[in-house]
Amino acid sequence: MTNKRVLLASRPAGPVSEANFRIDEAPLPRPADGEVLVRNLWLSLDPYMRGRMSDAKSYAKGVEIGEVMVGQTVGEVLESRHPKMKVGDVVLTQLGWQLYGCINDATKLDAARAPLSYYLGLLGMPGMTAYFGLKELGQPKPGETVLVSAASGAVGSVVGQLARLWGARAVGIAGGWEKCNYVSEELGFDACIDYKAGAVREHLKAACPNGVDVYFDNVGGEILDLVLARANLFGRIVVCGTISDYNSTDPYRVRNWRAILVNRLRVQGMIVFDWKDRYGEALKALGGYFAEGKLHYRESVVQGLENAPRGLIDLLAGKNFGKQLVKL
């Protein structure tokens, strides 16, 4: 048996291409004392991976040329030399873009609670990002307006549903009629703006007639400027992502910075690792809402590790619908 892996072959200059990756095979790894051998079943694809392909300074170390691409996985323990994990356990790991890997630390998962893939989305890092970003940084009050971009995605879809559950008004921004219809009809947002239809300023004013109290930003770019113009006094801007710039060689420069001063806005970046000691709290809350049928969720699934590069490219281009995964 061999281990199929996807390695970073080169750093992209602009949009990611399949040429930036290389698929290879290596001998099957063997666990050392205190380790387990895991066969990966699901791989998560996320926008942050574009940043890890760069050598620019960031909140986490980038992937070196020739290294396995970074990524969160769910897998099954095949062999154990760990005192607290046994063969057959299902675990959440950071083994990256490969079929097998050895690790000495993993989180055991309850396969009866939810589909295993959900631990990479709704009940995983994206769901927790939405939970802590909205609760701790957005701090919505009942009756306030919460606006979220990339509203049909893994994080944005949860943000809007939580806003509604916590008594706020939820408005989404998404690309295309199909996504906007899903956000409004299936997720229960109060409104959704199709940025691809144009006239975003006018649609934003109509959807948020009383202004915006909390903006959960996943995209950055020109939309952020337009939202700043609609922000209410003492509004909160949660900066979770800037996906509109991830493939850009000339990042967008915010022009409406004065609105932050005039409206005394609080703008704060959101990295979920800052709440790692409270992951259990988020999992309990999100799992409870899911069990009660109060959280809805959608996945886009790519089949096979060899198609992971194409899956990431499509994700960065906004072609995914919901959480992007690779079924291994």
pLDDT band at residue 249 under the 50/70/90 scheme: confident
Q: Which domains does the chain have, with CATH numbers?
A: 2-121+298-327 (3.90.180.10), 125-273 (3.40.50.720)
Kindly tell me the number of DSSP H helices and DSSP E strands found in the chain. 9, 15
Q: Is 214 exposed, middle or buried (0-12, 13-18, 19+ CB in 10 A)?
A: buried
User: Looking at residue 259, what is its pLDDT?
Assistant: 96
In this structure, the chain runs to a length of 328
163-213: pLDDT as tens digits: 999 999 999 999 999 999 999 999 999 999 999 999 999 999 999 999 999
Q: How many CB atoms lie within 10 A of CB 296?
A: 15
Q: What percent of the chain has pLDDT over 90?
A: 91
The closest of 201, 198, 266 to 234, measured between CA atoms, is 266
User: Looking at residue 56, what is its pLDDT?
Assistant: 79
3-class SS of residue 110? coil
3-class SS of residue 288? helix
CA–CA gap between residue 97 and residue 277 (Å, rounded): 26
> Which sign, positive or negative, has the C-alpha torsion 73, 79, 82, 83?
positive
Q: What is the pTM of this model?
A: 0.94
pLDDT at 58 over 90: no
